[in-house]
Amino acid sequence: MIDNITLIVDSSVRIAATLLFAALGELVAERAGTLNISVEGAMLSSAFAAAYGSHATGSAYYGFLIGVAVGIVVSLVQANLSHRIRINQFVTGLVLNLLAIGVTSFLLAEVKMAPVQFGLVRIPGLASIPIIGDALFEQRAPFFLLYGLVPLVWWVLKRSRWGLELNAVGENPTAADANGIPVDVRRRQAIYFGGLLAGISGAYLSVGLIGAFTPNMTALRGFIAIAAVIFGGWTLSGTVAGTLLFGGAEALRVSLPALGVTITPQVLIALPYLAAIAAIAVLSQRRRQPAALGQTFGRGIS
Amino acid sequence: MSEAKASTSAAGPEVVLGLRSVSKRFGRVVACDDVSLNVRAGEIRGLLGQNGAGKSTLMKIVAGFVRPEAGEIRIRGETLGFGDPVIAAERGIAMVHQHFSLVGPMPVWKNVTLSDRGHKKVDRTGTSRQIREIGQRYGLDVDPDAIVDDLAVGERQRVELLKCLRRQPDILILDEPTSVLTREESTALFGVLRRLARERGQSVVLISHELEEMLEVTDRVTVLRDGRVVSTVESAEASPDSLAQEMLGHDVTVPAEVLGLTLDEPGKAAGVPGSLPARSGVPSGHRAAVLELSDITVASAVGHKLLDGVSLDVGEGEILGVAGVAGNGQEELTGLLSNLIRPDGGEVRVEGRTIQTGRGRQLSRAGVGVIPADRHDSGCVLEMSVAENIALGSLDGMVRWGVVQQQKLHQLTQRLVGDFRIITSSLSAPLRSLSGGNQQRVVLARELARRPCVLVAAEPTQGLDIGARGYIWDRLREAAAGGTGILLLSSDLAEIMALSHRVAVINRGRIVSTMARADVDLAELGRMMGARTHDRR
């Protein structure tokens, strides 16, 4: 029994980690008032780029970096289309997501590759803690970035001037503008940060967690990351909790049959999404979203 | 700023802010027309004018939020570039906006530090200490840790002011600062402004349309009308009457019947021949009330009373003009009668029947038609056709089994387009393709086609040319002659005077006075519109 629980916790955390990277980036982007749905496309592109990069360079590390770079490139396109020349951000995001599926599937058919996977890193001592030891302290290398990124995002949002300005831009862009804060610049920067983290998420998925690239392998996890942010009421702790919940639901889907529990497969597949809808419906009322979320800003007349 | 300068000193006080021939237009609307202005050090300067006179736009140009087409701004003799609020702030200009530039969910101290540019560290203790210090110095008491959303409007303004004062600006601009304040709060604010000007030699520009407070606090007043400077006078030598006259001016589109009634000779009003064109056989005073509002109260989210015990009645075939500067409750009144706002108290009766307000369609079913002030916002749908816009008003009679009967709609539209002489390329042309005057005719036609017993007309001719305006006036008179009771809300006195049987004055959400059209004294009316006190009830 303990073994089973350990297994499920481990698997939950591994899946949650993928979500959490992307969700941290999305949290920052949404706090600035942008609803950046191209996080999905950025993850998928990065996952492919990291896999191919690791094959080409023979190093999981270089592959990872190449993947992250591609994530940033996708966010550059998104940010400049939506918050420089002001094309509708949902349309932009949707197009980028579709483009990512198409391009990665096409390239996958064109190239043969044998991606290199990160090895497992075990923190001595800590990893021996029962139940959570394996989950938190024996993982593929990029996983451990989370231990730095979570406090960093907290600091950015709570303490830094950049974070303060992002919040102002997300809550009341007109007021931010009146205070001399360049609204679109801050929003683009927030999307770049989102792209960096979506890149980490995608690269971790392919060369960390799985060690391969398969068509559409992100399978809408980018949207689940957005759901986690909403679930978490746009707070850091809530977002972490959201990714754990959705990660757990996904882990159950994978492990329940292995544990001999028989549920209709269709229900199992739907489980994480049902959990997302239910959780959001019940819990997202607790805290207001950033007031200007998803709204473009332009100076009005008079 | 060691030398505090007396504002009235004749020995050529330094000009801190100089405007030369500044012009700005928004589309076809001229906001500022060749405006030149000098503000001296240590002076409190008032900018007075009606809504749309260009006061706010002018100051937003100075603060860098609006870019003018032409002109020059000089700060202490040096040219200031246009359209950059950051540079304007660095050069010592600070502006307290009419709509505050505060982020509601954040605490006061974060809002205050938000205006620090560059990479300054976010310093909670330092900022809080500064807030307390400045607060003590000027009597602006605010808790640095309070969340802005929880503060009353007066307190928010203090935060806004603190933000500006912290940067020790040379020129402090306040846009309608007292419109949200109580009498006591205003007096306190004026105390702060005087101290700034006298003790620190800072210049203050105060935008307002309130005559009495202008004279109370300013050294000089510049009157703007239609984007132009009409005059600049020493406050000590000006009177509310003279300012009111300059502010209102003589509208060129005022018809003869109103021109006969001058500000200097109010007594003549009653004797003007034809001042009340025959519109209705019903003798005034004996009309049955078709619309009655009693003790209507509407409060904003923070408890500020937008409508404060409003009671009025409109008789059958009567036009009741509600005069007032925009923003004194007219919007709420229209919203109430369009069912967009649910009142916090009071009763609405139409033809003697109490109407449940705030329930969809109840007012409209009872026969209340509305021409909203902003026709683009809530009066019509620009992307839809003329016919569809007309159908929006009377769908009930035109729908069978849930399907719009195109033939019937077509017939109605054709008739109305003819009746109202609407110029359009076709009935299916999008409303956007029509001129403003014709768009308004569509709205008017739609509302009148339903033969309402009450018509609420809010700024029905705003932005229209003289021809369109005259046409709409005629139609409104006609409707009244046909028995419709019209509630006319207008900030244009000429319009009020041209149409109304009776005139009510609205000021800060209250009806401060109601009088027969013949008893109107324009100067007195202007004063009541701009007055701060409500003693005249």
Q: pLDDT-derived band of residue A237, with 50, 70 and 90 as boundaries?
A: very high
Q: Which residue has the tokens 């599937």?
A: A105
Q: B405 and B480: one domain?
A: no
Candidates A72, A301, A9, A114; CA nearest to A201 is: A72
Q: Which carries the bigger pLDDT value, residue A66 or residue B466? A: A66
A287 → chain B, closest CA residue: B105
Distance from CA of B96 to the nearest CA of A (A): 10
How many residues appear in chain A?
A: 302
Q: B82 and B186: one domain?
A: yes
CA atoms within 13 A on the CB side of B333: 38
Distance from CA of A148 to the nearest CA of B (A): 21
CB distance from B117 to chain A under 8 Å?
A: yes
Query: Phi, psi at residue B206, to the nearest 5°?
Result: -115, 115
Distance from CA of B492 to the nearest CA of A (A): 20
Q: Do B122 and A176 touch (CB under 8 A)?
A: no
Domain CATH for B335: 3.40.50.300
The pair of structure tokens assigned to B388 is 């569809």
Q: B346 and B480: one domain?
A: yes
Q: B214 and B244: one domain?
A: yes
CB-CB neighbours of B263 under 10 Å: 18
Q: What would the pLDDT profile of A212-227 be if each residue is shown by its tens digit?
A: 999 999 988 999 999 9
Q: Rounded distance, CA A144 to CA A137, Å?
A: 8
Q: B362 and B420: one domain?
A: no
Q: Give residues 80 to 99 of B whose Cβ lies within 8 Å of A.
A: 85-86, 89, 95, 97, 99
CB distance from B389 to chain A under 8 Å?
A: no
pLDDT confidence of residue B454: 93
Q: Which long-range contacts (CB under 8 A, 24 or more apart) does A53-58 make?
A: A54/A115, A54/A116, A54/A117, A54/A207, A55/A113, A55/A114, A55/A115, A55/A116, A56/A113, A58/A116
The pair of structure tokens assigned to A229 is 């942010």
Q: Which helix (H) or strand (E) element contains residue B487? A: strand B485-490
Phi-psi region of A13 (alpha: psi -120 to 50; beta: other; left: phi over 0): alpha
pLDDT confidence of residue B125: 92
Query: Phi, psi at residue B400, to the nearest 5°?
Result: -130, 130
User: pLDDT digit of tens for each residue in chain B (537 aa)?
Assistant: 334 433 344 445 789 999 999 999 877 678 899 999 999 999 999 998 876 678 888 999 999 888 999 999 999 988 998 888 888 988 999 998 877 789 988 999 999 998 887 777 889 999 999 999 998 888 888 899 999 888 877 788 889 989 988 888 999 999 888 776 767 778 888 999 999 899 888 999 999 877 888 888 999 999 998 889 999 999 999 888 788 778 777 543 344 444 333 333 333 333 333 333 433 444 445 568 899 999 999 887 767 788 888 999 999 999 999 998 777 888 889 888 888 888 888 889 998 888 887 676 788 888 888 888 877 777 788 888 888 888 877 666 777 777 777 888 888 888 888 888 888 888 888 888 777 778 888 888 888 888 889 999 998 887 776 667 788 899 899 999 999 999 999 887 888 888 999 999 998 888 999 999 888 887 788 778 776 544 333
CA atoms within 13 A on the CB side of A156: 20
Helices marked H in B432-504: 436-449, 466-481, 493-499
Q: Do A179 and B57 touch (CB under 8 A)?
A: no
Q: Rounded distance, CA B31 to CA B41, Å?
A: 27
- ipTM value, please give it: 0.84
Q: Rounded distance, CA B109 to CA B130, Å?
A: 9
Collect all residues of chain A within an 8 Å Cβ-Cβ radius of residue B164.
none
B466 within a domain of the structure (yes/no): yes
What domain range is B386 assigned to?
382-451
Candidates B309, B377, B294; CA nearest to B338 is: B377
* Portion of chain A with pLDDT greater than 70, in percent: 97
Q: Which carries the bigger pLDDT value, residue A250 or residue A100? A: A100
The pair of structure tokens assigned to B275 is 């001042």
Q: B76 and B182: one domain?
A: yes
Q: B363 and B457: one domain?
A: yes
Q: What would the pLDDT profile of A99-144 be if each residue is shown by its tens digit?
A: 999 999 999 999 989 999 999 888 888 888 888 888 888 889 999 9
Q: Do B97 and A178 touch (CB under 8 A)?
A: yes
Q: Which residue has the tokens 């967009």?
A: B340
Chains A–B, number of C-beta pairs less than 8 Å apart: 61
Listed in sequence order, the residues at least 6 apart from B199 whose beta carbon sits closer than 8 Å to its beta carbon are: B4
B507 within a domain of the structure (yes/no): yes
Q: Rounded distance, CA B302 to CA B107, Å?
A: 17
CB distance from A299 to chain B under 8 Å?
A: yes
Q: Rounded distance, CA A62 to CA B386, Å?
A: 63
Q: B177 and B325: one domain?
A: no
DSSP state of B118: T
Q: Which residue has the tokens 């831009």?
A: A169
Candidates A50, A41, A45; CA nearest to A211 is: A50
B41 within a domain of the structure (yes/no): yes
Collect all residues of chain A within an 8 Å Cβ-Cβ radius of residue B121.
161
Query: Phi, psi at residue B24, to the nearest 5°?
Result: -150, 135
CB distance from B102 to chain A under 8 Å?
A: yes
Torsion angle, CA of B435/B437/B439/B441, rounded to 10 degrees? Answer: -140
Q: What would the pLDDT profile of A157-211 be if each residue is shown by its tens digit?
A: 999 999 999 999 999 998 898 888 899 999 999 999 999 999 999 999 999 999 9
Greatest pairwise CA separation for chain B in angstroms: 83
pLDDT confidence of residue B395: 65
Q: B322 and B363: one domain?
A: yes
A290 → chain B, closest CA residue: B105
B163 within a domain of the structure (yes/no): no
For B340-453, strand residue ranges (E) read 345-350, 353-355, 368-371, 399-400, 403-404
CB distance from B60 to chain A under 8 Å?
A: yes
Q: B456 and B351: one domain?
A: yes
CB distance from B103 to chain A under 8 Å?
A: yes
Q: Rounded distance, CA B32 to CA B21, Å?
A: 9
CB distance from B105 to chain A under 8 Å?
A: yes
Q: B422 and B459: one domain?
A: no
pLDDT confidence of residue B172: 94
Q: Rounded distance, CA B241 to CA A128, Å?
A: 88
Q: Rounded distance, CA B306 to CA B309, Å?
A: 10
Q: Do B119 and A161 touch (CB under 8 A)?
A: yes
Probe site for chain B from A31, A179, A185 (most B CB atoms < 10 A): A179
Pick B31's closest partner by Cβ from A179, A288, A302: A302
B210 within a domain of the structure (yes/no): yes
Residue type present at position B516: A
Listed in sequence order, the residues at least 6 apart from A152 whose beta carbon sits closer than 8 Å to its beta carbon are: none
A159 → chain B, closest CA residue: B122
DSSP state of B262: -
Q: How many domains does chain B have?
A: 3
Q: B250 and B302: one domain?
A: no
B109 → chain A, closest CA residue: A164
CB-CB neighbours of B73 under 10 Å: 22
For chain B, what percentages of helix, strand and coil (3-state, to nearest 5) are there? 35, 25, 40
Domain boundaries, chain A: 2-286
* Three-state DSSP class for residue B268: helix
Work out the angle at residue A60's Cα, subtended by the Cα atoms of residues A55 and A66, and round it to the nearest 5 degrees: 80
Question: Average pLDDT of chain A?
Answer: 90
Beta strands B78-80; B171-175: pairing state: unpaired
Collect all residues of chain A within an 8 Å Cβ-Cβ radius of residue B26.
301-302
Q: Which residues pair with B430 in a beta bridge?
A: B385
Pick the CATH number of A2-286 from 1.10.490, 1.10.3210, 1.10.8, 1.10.3470: 1.10.3470
> Which of these three, B402, B425, B451, is where a domain ends?
B451
Residue B518 in contact with residue B275, Cβ under 8 Å?
yes
Q: What would the pLDDT profile of B236-295 be if each residue is shown by its tens digit?
A: 998 887 887 787 775 433 444 443 333 333 333 333 333 334 334 444 455 688 999 999
Q: Rounded distance, CA A74 to CA A291, Å?
A: 26
Q: What would the pLDDT profile of A271-292 be if each residue is shown by its tens digit?
A: 777 877 887 777 666 667 888 8
pLDDT confidence of residue B455: 93
CB distance from A300 to chain B under 8 Å?
A: no
CB distance from B196 to chain A under 8 Å?
A: no
For A102-231, strand residue ranges (E) read 120-122, 138-140
